[in-house]
Structure 1
Amino acid sequence: PLYEWFIENLPVPAQPKQYEFGRLNLDYTVTSKRKLKFLVDEGVVAGWDDPRMPTISGMRRRGFTPNSIRTFCDMIGVTRSDGMVDVAMLEHALRSDLNQNAPRAMAVLKPLKVVIENLPEDHKEMLKAPFHPELDLGEREMPFTREIFIDQDDFKEEYSKKFKKKFCPGKRIRLRFSYVIEATDYEKDADGNVTLVKAKLIENTLGENPEDGVNPKGVVHWVSATDHKEAELRLYERLFTSATPDKGEGDFMDHVNKDSLSVVTALIEPALAEVDAEANFQFEREGYYVADRFEHTAEKPIFNLTIGLREDKALLG
């Protein structure tokens, strides 16, 4: 053939060589195109770009960064053996990259209203906060109002040493990038659930400790109860419950995690609604999220959970 003649007569060595390498098999994952197509055709996932899929488009929509994937590949190296790679290594590379580079913001997934009674009803103060504690990623404004939302898990009815960093009656807490407040009372519904917390603001504590020396024990994230946005959060877990779903007896479909996707409504800072698609964020004390590349809009913010804040040490060995 003509191409062989060209190769043989090139002025430099040009004989092609083929190298065979082992497939990058991840546990809790299938990489067979036939099986991935079956997941799409059967409606187990929403498509080839579903964030649970081990495809480039799926990982991009999930919020994987190019640097995290390159770091992961450097960690595992290249081999000719057809072995299995611990997915926790990929998650570690991703979490490390996002921890260093992702902007911070606040979102409340389980809102509990707090009324700061010694503020006027129409109080509205615009507070500034950096997007990152170390990198110069700019800053945003957060409306601070008389009524705010904190996470339900951050309030306890009684103080104990086990929950000494929690908000409880008679104790103080610092609102992230804001003031110190002290709980004075709370209300419960007929089922015994706390529905409202009453508090007072400790004056002159914006970026400062209380003048009376009674310092708060912890810091909580929050959003304004009157000046926030609602966002749809898509919470993703591993698609399979077995580390080797396509090995051994039975069908790989028997190991599909039916709870791999859940959708919740969260309350977010107003600035988060305006971010570009595919923008990565750490929602403080909640996890790493990415604005959906196809459906996120200012009118309907949608964020996908990329990965949680803490890694499973047992999986890393």
Structure 2
Amino acid sequence: MTRPTFRFAPSPNGELHLGHAYSALLNQQLAQASAGRLLLRIEDIDTTRCTPEFEAGIFRDLEWLGFSWAEPVRRQSEHFAEYQAALQRLAREELVYPAFMSRGDIRAFITEREQRGENWPRDPDGAPLYPGIDKTLSTRERNRRIDAGLPFAWRLDVEAAMARIGTPLSWTEFTDETLGATSEVEARPRDWGDVVVARREVPTSYHLSVVVDDALQGVSHVVRGRDLFFATSVQRLLQQLLGLPKPAYFHHRLVLGPDGRKLSKSQAATGLSALRENGATPQAIRQLVGL
């Protein structure tokens, strides 16, 4: 019987805070309870914002917390070729297209439509959906723009992808912190429109890299924050298109700041290194996050 496999996957673009501590320790608790494996993944595809200094801080904070993991640590920046292969498969099946509109182009396009009285759709995070007008470009024109060095992103043609699948999508969601009960959740990738799956300079995105990593690492249980609940719809679609295994998910509660908002890496007061320097203990951190 295959052992359950969990993972904690921070990005080294800032310091870990209490929310990260809760997620890491909850993954460890669940892995221990199920005699499972616990992996650490460094999600550093954003090579401009992710730094060795922040990565070193992640290791210091996790070791101080008593968080332990199975080696080796996977760093996404070392696996661009694997993400490129997945992207090429989607491209061969004509499920992605190069999108050349800049943020300014998108904003102007949507503003003009809304001034006409159109109610432009938005994704679950509140951002307007991509217009998708690049899908009408001929192959010749696409290649001309790419050869000319114009910036672009590879976007998933969500309608073509859903048509290819032809059946409804869902995922198994655990409903409590003991992983004792589950429900089936309908995946709604259309709510996100044509999401970015790679860029000209980086052959992947969060959505694409995470599903490839989870499959290659044999992750069976994805335990992460509630803020990523809706993003799971896009990832389920990519898993289906690429023939990848479907993990079970638990989107846990978020640790909120004094203002009632989700913690961010810019809130130094909740950074684990600052708390440690001010005398906090690992046990005090566990109490602060409710474990």
TM-score range, shorter chain: 0.3 to 0.5
Q: Which has the higher helix share?
A: 2
Compute the TM-score of the two structures, normalised by the length of structure 2. 0.32
TM-score (structure 1 length as normaliser): 0.31
| Higher relative contact order, chain-length normalized (CA < 8 Å, sep 6+) | 2
Higher strand share: 1
The structure number with the bigger radius of gyration is: 1
